[in-house]
Amino acid sequence: MALSAVVDVELGDRSYPVVVGAGARHELASLIPGEVARVAVVTQTEIGIEVDPGRASRTFAIPRGEGAKSLATVENLCREWARWGLTRRDAVVAVGGGMVTDVGGFAASVYHRGIPVVHVATTLLGQIDAAVGGKTGVNLPEGKNLVGAFWQPTAVVCDSETLQSMPSREWRCGRGEMAKYQFIGAGDLRGLDLHEQVVRCIRLKADVVAADEREGGARAILNYGHTLAHALEIAGGFDLRHGEAVAIGLVYAAEVARRLGRIDDDRVQEHRAVVEHFELDHRLPAGVDIDGTIMLFGRDKKAVAGTTFVLDGPNGVEPVVVDDDALLRDALEAIR
């Protein structure tokens, strides 16, 4: 099989390839370190995508839904691995979307204080964002991704064949993240075919991760649109997937940036146009508690001093502390 693209995440002796193309999952065995004896495959029953790691393996299914992205799920995985006899010479392969790679990667990072993990990303969101970069984690009732670790994979596999059976809501979820990439440096993605869109997003993320592995500065741009998105997800009660929430968050961030004088009305309209191109809504869901949402901004994991947003501006997208609740409230009203 001739693979379409290999994007390297350059991290010195921890560098790894992201293999992109039709049938890429069939290269999995060659991407697992040679000394690995056994592989724990973490997936969800509904995904139904089989992989061959080329050595003894066992499949461990985790539940679906954000409620399963929890410390309890990680504990269950680690206990099942221990009962199976998984050792630090073995490895994990996470097969699924962002929830599976987040949970599987975090469990791999803490089991025996860290064993190798390879991600086989089966959704658009997973391929362009969640599986690349080494950020793993789970939720607490108090917030999204508040417990986790930086644990770089040994390799990432992005097989375009796994996208063919993706439900429409999963497409929308991935397109929300894709819209984000258009504003943080990937260029105009709207006229490209899907393969080139995916490769461009991965290349940009690989460059950002190589420059700032642990989110000390530049990597924060990858959170563009996520402050409002995470608040909506924490609040719950809305029929929103992650990428759909990010799309709303992008337009909200643009409204905040305009009120701060960082961008003009035309740039705000460009945000709306890109989100609409990817067939996503940019309005707040009905029933959002404005004051409660502003309170939840402070629980975002990137908040250090004040409410930290990632905002567009004359120097591009960058973190900005905003301490004007009236401004934040006005911007929320603008996207009702």
User: Would 179 be classed as within a structural domain?
Assistant: no
Whether residues 57 and 191 fall in one domain: yes
Q: What is the mean pLDDT of each run of 10 residues along the chain (336 residues)?
A: 81 97 96 96 95 97 93 98 97 96 98 98 96 95 90 97 90 95 96 96 97 89 95 89 96 98 98 97 94 87 71 96 96 96
List the Cα angle 255/249/18 in 5-degree steps: 130
pLDDT for res 304: 54
Helix axes 265-277, 242-259, angle to 10 degrees: 170
- The whole domain housing 137 covers 5-166+185-211
Do 189 and 253 lie in one domain? The reply is: no
- Bridge partner list, 93: 41, 118
In angstroms, rounded to a whole number, what is the distance separating the alpha carbons of residues 204 and 206?
Answer: 5
For the annotated catalytic residues, the residue numbers are 113, 135, 177, 205, 215, 219, 223, 226, 230, 242
Residues 201 and 268 in one domain: no
Question: Does residue 294 sit within a domain?
Answer: yes
CATH number where 73 lies? 3.40.50.1970
Residue 147 forms part of a structural domain:
yes
Q: Which residue from 219, 215, 238 is spatially nearest to 287, judged by alpha carbons? A: 238
Cα torsion 190, 223, 234, 133: sign: positive
Clarify whether residues 29 and 75 are in a common domain.
yes
- What the block records as the tokens of 169 is 């809501």
60 located within any domain = yes
148 part of a folded domain: yes
* CA dist list (Å): 172 to 72, 93, 105, 163, 279: 29, 26, 24, 12, 7
The per-residue pLDDT for 135 is 94
Number of domains within the chain = 2
Burial 35-70 (b: 16+ CB within 10 A, else e): ebebbbbbbbeebeeebebeeebeebebbbeeebbb
Q: Specify the DSSP class assigned to residue 68.
A: G
Residue at 315 is within a domain: yes
For residues 156 and 25, membership in a common domain is answered with yes
CATH code at 320? Answer: 1.20.1090.10
pLDDT at 1: 44
Q: State whether 191 and 252 are in the same domain.
A: no
299 lies in some domain: yes
pLDDT at residue number 300: 62
Q: Do 100 and 206 sit in the same domain of this protein? A: yes
Whether residue 285 is contained in a domain is answered as yes
My answer on whether 90 and 150 are in the same domain is yes
